[in-house]
Amino acid sequence: MEYITGGICAAKGFTASGVHCGIRKNKTKKDLALIVSEVKATAAATYTTNLVKGAPIHVTKANLADGTAQAVICNSGNANTCNANGIEIAEGMCALVEKHIGISKNDVVVASTGVIGQQMVIDPIADAMEKLKANLGENSKDAAHAIMTTDTKLKEIAVSFEIGGKKCVIGGIAKGSGMIHPNMATMLCFITSDVAISSELLSKALKDNVTDTFNMISVDGDTSTNDMVVVLANGMSGNAMITEQNEDYEAFAAALHAVSEHLCRCIAADGEGATKLLECRVSGASDNATARIVAKSVICSNLFKAAMFGADANWGRVLCAIGYSGASVDVDKIDITFKSASGEIMVCQNGAGVDFSEKTAKEVLLRSEIIIDVNLNSGDGKASAYGCDLTYDYVKINGDYRT
Amino acid sequence: MEYITGGICAAKGFTASGVHCGIRKNKTKKDLALIVSEVKATAAATYTTNLVKGAPIHVTKANLADGTAQAVICNSGNANTCNANGIEIAEGMCALVEKHIGISKNDVVVASTGVIGQQMVIDPIADAMEKLKANLGENSKDAAHAIMTTDTKLKEIAVSFEIGGKKCVIGGIAKGSGMIHPNMATMLCFITSDVAISSELLSKALKDNVTDTFNMISVDGDTSTNDMVVVLANGMSGNAMITEQNEDYEAFAAALHAVSEHLCRCIAADGEGATKLLECRVSGASDNATARIVAKSVICSNLFKAAMFGADANWGRVLCAIGYSGASVDVDKIDITFKSASGEIMVCQNGAGVDFSEKTAKEVLLRSEIIIDVNLNSGDGKASAYGCDLTYDYVKINGDYRT
């Protein structure tokens, strides 16, 4: 597997576009993205589990019921959620793709991110469709830019790998948490591939993958109303259709995991106000599910996140978060080590503190990527969770008035 | 029922004391508290559910196994948690009470709050015992001060009420979240009463009460290793022993609730860095359990808490937190109203935004006590949860180096 450029346009048959249509007032900020596959693609998606769901979630679910799609349209600046005419607008966006791009409205994935409960009109999108169409090309970055909100960095990735001698590609773009008018930490990710794979296995690969990647990110513990991860696989690489969990499937799943993990790390590192990427890497759990619960509890602890902002080796907060996680663990067996590019330092062994140099610990924790290595010493289960520190800027971004 | 002065010494037969013993360096800060009942009292307690438990929790549990106690000793400045000799120290503190006060060590409740994983020596406590004894008297405030950490306000309350013509009293002191060397948001509460009540009913009253009061507070979602609520009832009011759930029991339970609710509101309002007390008051739920889940989810949302810091009427975050709470609710029936001393303003009806004056909303939200009134319009269940806003100071307090 090799990391390549091109993002969501790296896979055969995919083009993308991103323009400013006017939902946002700032004219330098693109706010409308389009992704198109030359041919109809197998499609799978996972959605927010929040009972409050954006209208685009409902429309996309209906359109993906047959397991296929050919385009993605997404706006930023308005979440189209809790609006009386939300469904009408979301369906209208799909109809605009049919009208201007010639792809059936039932084969369109629609997504929105922004303020919720704010009236939305479709006119700016309708007016921009020809410009959006004209921009279609190798423009993964334009699309990635258009879905950003308060993200400070564009998030895209692509990998190439082989299946039965055929070069295959998976690429993706994503957006993380934050809004210029902050409201919801919406997470969106669009993944494209030229692999030929059955609808069932694509769904399975995505579902298995999300458990260990996107569902293991936490910026602030708030699950948005509009979260969506979509993967389109159009089969244009020419590989023999993957219809069973053989080695071809494993190759696809591994590449999907690499793309997802990269985007997750980007999203966590670029969380609202974040100065550090935190990875809690749990091993020695009785099973993977236990490891996931422990890792996520640590990464979600406000107290621990604030300590990381202060580069404070406050391991007691890690132990505390493990203790209230709900996972069944033997506290007296827990080892904790902090790691970064500066080195590593063990701070807790068998559930009790060990003597360590505060100076060395500080050096380790002043880096921008910190691994909190937790060994439960009780089995082979493992998992990683991704988060960020809790900073003054998180409070500032989210405490500001909307108006 | 009447609110009276005197705190934990208002009930007949209780004296208290608080001194500086030297666990803390700051000599103006008391760090050792003692509460004594003239006669042996019926006792009940609830403890942290964290798997990582401070040594005092284990010792107190053992001492309360027979349902009686006569004294409480508590230090601040060191949590005596994750220490190799923690049990020895906690048992030693009980033995010191036996030696100096003449109360059996098995009738002592012991508690500690402070940094975890830090070596602790018993000498400063041993050396201060005579001073602590000499200070015993109507000194509820001294004890309340001694258990404080970064609390900015002393927390005490007492109420008087009648049972069968006898004047009865319940008083309490509590500490909230924060440490001078911040580590754990330990919550401690000691309640004294002169009511005569059976051990079974005292336990039941406390358990029922905690569900709706202390378990409904959240400052930052982190459950400490040392949380403890203890109630001692020594029977000196002369009421006929309460042995069944009759109207005497109801009177006791109501007074216990009043004391607990007051202390909870104090703890939430004085959460680390807090500028506002938030109460999420949920009604119209299918049952009380559902109402509790919804109320707590709102009060725990970082995004919403930051919005309250900014006095931003961002009701979408309330709806979002309800949506991911895990409670079964009909989103389309939810009404949300913000209330304070300035008035009230409805911001969401039937799950959708309503037109409202941002100016009025801001006036409502600039007050120091905000009620978020959520009506689920689906039944008679109700609950309140108590929290505080998320501020720069929370990050500052918890991001600081321990050293």
| A216 and A169 housed in the same domain | yes
Quick one: pLDDT band at residue B41, thresholds 50, 70, 90? very high
Whether B149 is a known active-site residue: answer no
Give me the mean pLDDT over the A278-304 stretch. Answer: 94
B248: helix, coil or strand?
A: helix
Tell me if chain B has a CB within 8 Å of the CB of A350: no
CB contact under 8 A, B398 and A322: no
How many angstroms separate the first and last alpha carbons of chain B? 47
- Which residues on adjacent β-strands are paired with residue B163? B166
Amino acid making up residue B325: S
| A228 and A257 housed in the same domain | yes
B278-319 pLDDT tens trace:
999 999 999 999 999 999 999 988 888 988 999 999 898 899
Give me the mean pLDDT over the B377-391 stretch. Answer: 93
Q: Give the mutation candidate from B324, B325, B355, B356 for the A interface (greatest A CB count, under 10 A).
A: B324
CB contact under 8 A, A391 and B391: no
**CB < 8 Å from B in window 206-235 of A:** 220-225
Q: What is the predicted pLDDT for the residue at A185?
A: 53
| B72 and B216 housed in the same domain | yes
CB contact under 8 A, A183 and B391: no
| B315 and B178 housed in the same domain | no
As to burial, measured by CB atoms within 10 angstroms (0-12 exposed, 13-18 middle, 19+ buried), residue A93 is buried
Tell me if chain A has a CB within 8 Å of the CB of B324: yes
Q: What is the predicted pLDDT for the residue at A238?
A: 95
Closest CA to B378 of B281, B247, B285: B285
CB contact under 8 A, A352 and B312: no
Q: Of A234, A269, A304, which residue sits at a domain end?
A: A269
Within 8 A by CB and 6+ apart from A259, the residues are A157, A158, A159, A170, A171, A172, A191
State the helix-helix crossing angle for A302-309 and B392-399, rounded to 10 degrees: 70
CB contact under 8 A, A317 and B222: yes
| A300 and A242 housed in the same domain | no
Q: Of B219, B241, B269, which residue sits at a domain end?
A: B269
Q: Which residues of A are catalytic?
A: 186
Question: Within 10 Å of residue A225's Cβ, how many Cβ atoms?
Answer: 28
CB contact under 8 A, B316 and A390: no
| A299 and A150 housed in the same domain | no
Name the residue in chain A with its Cα closest to that of B398. A306
Q: Which of A262-266, B73-77, B102-106, B357-361 has the lowest mean pLDDT?
A: A262-266
Give me the mean pLDDT over the A262-287 stretch. Answer: 91
Q: What is the predicted pLDDT for the residue at A221?
A: 63
Which residues of chain B lie closer than 8 angstroms to A115, CB-CB?
316
Q: What is the predicted pLDDT for the residue at B302?
A: 84
For residue B316, how far is the Cα from the chain centroid?
A: 30
Which residues of chain B lie closer than 8 angstroms to A335, CB-CB?
none
Q: What is the predicted pLDDT for the residue at B400?
A: 64
With beta carbons less than 8 A apart as the criterion, state whether A206 and A229 touch. Answer: yes
Beta strands A381-388; A217-218: pairing state: parallel
Give the closest-approach CA distance of B311 to chain A in angstroms. Answer: 7
Q: How many CB pairs under 8 A join A and B?
A: 198
Give the closest-approach CA distance of B329 to chain A in angstroms. Answer: 8
| B197 and B338 housed in the same domain | no
| A40 and A180 housed in the same domain | yes
A75-115 pLDDT tens trace:
999 989 888 899 999 999 999 999 999 999 999 999 999 88
- Which residues on adjacent β-strands are paired with residue A338? A345, A372
User: Which of A323, A362, A400 has the CB atom closest to B51's CB atom?
Assistant: A323
Quick one: pLDDT band at residue B221, thresholds 50, 70, 90? low
Q: Tokens at residue B285, please?
A: 């739920």
CB contact under 8 A, B401 and A82: no
B349-367 pLDDT tens trace:
999 889 999 999 999 999 9
Rounded-to-integer distance, Cα B98 and Cα B92, Å: 10
Within 8 A by CB and 6+ apart from A160, the residues are A1, A2, A4, A10, A167, A168, A169
Rounded-to-integer distance, Cα A63 and Cα A57, Å: 10
Give the closest-approach CA distance of B351 to chain A in angstroms. Answer: 7
**What is the DSSP secondary structure assignment for residue B343, as one 8-state letter?**
E
A340-366 pLDDT tens trace:
999 999 999 999 889 999 999 999 999
CATH assignment at residue B214: 3.60.70.12
User: In whole numbers, what is the pLDDT of chain A averaged over residues?
Assistant: 91
Rounded-to-integer distance, Cα B385 and Cα B291, Å: 9
Name the residue in chain B with its Cα closest to that of A119. B353
Q: Quote the number of domains for chain B.
A: 2
Tell me if chain B has a CB within 8 Å of the CB of A392: yes
CB contact under 8 A, A395 and B392: yes
| A313 and A223 housed in the same domain | no
**CB < 8 Å from A in window 163-182 of B:** 182
Q: Give me the residue label for tokens 């500066």.
A: A342
Give the closest-approach CA distance of A89 to chain B in angstroms. Answer: 16
ipTM for the predicted complex comes to 0.76
Quick one: pLDDT band at residue A308, thresholds 50, 70, 90? very high
Give the closest-approach CA distance of B375 to chain A in angstroms. Answer: 16
Give me the mean pLDDT over the A279-304 stretch. Answer: 94
Which residues of chain A lie closer than 8 angstroms to B185, CB-CB?
303
Closest CA to B227 of B158, B172, B174: B174
Give the closest-approach CA distance of A303 to chain B in angstroms. Answer: 6
B74: helix, coil or strand?
A: strand
Rounded-to-integer distance, Cα B104 and Cα B63, Å: 10
Q: Which of A173-182, B105-114, B298-307 has the lowest mean pLDDT?
A: A173-182
Tell me if chain A has a CB within 8 Å of the CB of B391: yes
Rounded-to-integer distance, Cα B155 and Cα B379, Å: 35
CB contact under 8 A, A395 and B82: no
Closest CA to A317 of B131, B203, B58, B183: B183
Quick one: pLDDT band at residue A383, thresholds 50, 70, 90? very high
Q: What is the predicted pLDDT for the residue at A400?
A: 64
Give me the mean pLDDT over the A121-128 stretch. Answer: 97
Q: Give the mutation candidate from B48, B53, B312 for the A interface (greatest A CB count, under 10 A).
A: B312
CB contact under 8 A, A224 and B117: no
CB contact under 8 A, A310 and B220: no
Which residues of chain B lie closer than 8 angstroms to A183, CB-CB?
314, 316-317
Q: Write out the DSSP string of B129-192.
A: HHHHHHT-BB-HHHHHHHT-SS-SS-EEEEEEEEETTEEEEEEEEEE-S--SS------EEEEE
User: Which of A81, A307, A348 has the CB atom closest to B398's CB atom?
Assistant: A307
With beta carbons less than 8 A apart as the criterion, state whether B389 and B278 touch. Answer: yes
| A264 and A294 housed in the same domain | no
Q: Which of A319-323, B65-69, B124-128, B370-374 has the lowest mean pLDDT?
A: A319-323
As to burial, measured by CB atoms within 10 angstroms (0-12 exposed, 13-18 middle, 19+ buried), residue A393 is middle
| B237 and B297 housed in the same domain | no
Quick one: pLDDT band at residue B392, thresholds 50, 70, 90? confident
The HSE-up count of residue B58 (CA atoms within 13 Å, CB side) is 16
- Is a pLDDT exceeding 70 seen at residue B82? yes
Q: What is the predicted pLDDT for the residue at B35?
A: 97
**HEC profile of chain A:** CEEECCHHHCCCCEEEEEECCCCCCCCCCCCEEEEEEEEEEEEEEEECCCCCCCHHHHHHHHHCCCCEEEEEEEEEEECCCCCCCHHHHHHHHHHHHHHHHCCCHHHEEEEEEEECCCCCCCHHHHHHHHHHHHCCEECHHHHHHHCCCCCCCCEEEEEEEEECCEEEEEEEEEECCCCCCCCCCCCEEEEEECCCECHHHHHHHHHHHHHHCHHHEECCCCCCCCCEEEEEECCCCCCCCECCCCHHHHHHHHHHHHHHHHHHHHHHHCCCCCCCEEEEEEEEECCHHHHHHHHHHHHHCHHHHHHHHCCCCCHHHHHHHHHCCCCCCCHHHCEEEEEECCEEEEEEECCEECCCCHHHHHHHHCCCEEEEEEECCCCCEEEEEEEECCCHHHHHHHHCCCC
Q: Give me the residue label for tokens 């039932």.
A: A106
Q: Of B269, B300, B323, which residue sits at a domain end?
A: B269
| B207 and B342 housed in the same domain | no
Which residues of chain A lie closer than 8 angstroms to B51, CB-CB?
322-324, 329, 331
**CB < 8 Å from A in window 131-170 of B:** none
- Is a pLDDT exceeding 90 seen at residue A167? yes
**What is the DSSP secondary structure assignment for residue B224, as one 8-state letter?**
P
Q: Tokens at residue A159, please?
A: 């990998």
- Domain hosting B380: range is 277-399
Which residues of chain B lie closer than 8 angstroms to A117, CB-CB?
315-316, 319, 348, 352-353
B136-194 pLDDT tens trace:
999 999 999 999 987 888 999 999 999 999 999 999 999 886 543 334 457 888 999 99
CB contact under 8 A, B309 and A402: no
User: Which of A184, A224, A302 has the CB atom closest to B302's CB atom?
Assistant: A302
Tell me if chain A has a CB within 8 Å of the CB of B302: yes
Q: Give the active site residue among B60, B149, B186, B192.
A: B186
CB contact under 8 A, A117 and B316: yes
Q: What is the predicted pLDDT for the residue at B314?
A: 87
CB contact under 8 A, A390 and B391: no
User: Which of A303, A391, A395 has the CB atom closest to B185's CB atom?
Assistant: A303
Give me the mean pLDDT over the B2-15 stretch. Answer: 96
CB contact under 8 A, A221 and B221: yes
Closest CA to B193 of B146, B141, B228, B158: B158
- Which residues on adjacent β-strands are paired with residue B77? B114
With beta carbons less than 8 A apart as the criterion, state whether B169 and B139 touch. Answer: no
Q: Give me the residue label for tokens 């070069």.
A: A167
